[in-house]
Amino acid sequence: MSVFHAAAHPANKITITQTVVSVGTTDTVLVAANPSRKYLALCVIGTTGVSLAFNQVATLNSGWPLAPASALGTQGGQFVWESTGITTDAIHAISSAATTVVVMEGV
């Protein structure tokens, strides 16, 4: 897992933290629950898709799917939450093979 901390965004007064998370064939927490969250983006950059679960263990092929990237390091399936429609839940992921998800969280 690698983490990048960006400076506060002046227009929205949030600080973005970018984390690259390796996901495999067992449940992985992409991001912990955070009631202070104001922005969240998930993007698959690995060539295997993931199944997401909210506040529970992820089960392969039974959660919300995010598609794989067409080539390693490119943009695959993604979700972006912001404003009043943002989830503050913990988000879990699982995949049929090793893959990678970029998580950007703003508080």
CA distance 30 to 20: 9
12 or 71, which is more confident? 71
Residue closest to 71 by CA, chosen among 100, 46, 99: 46
Mean pLDDT of the 24-48 span: 97
What pTM was computed for the model? 0.86
Which are the contacts of 41, defined by CB distance < 8 A and separation ≥ 6? Answer: 78, 79, 80, 81, 102, 103, 104
User: What confidence tens digit (pLDDT) does each residue in 49-75 have?
Assistant: 999 999 999 999 999 999 999 999 999
Residue closest to 76 by CA, chosen among 105, 106, 46, 96: 46
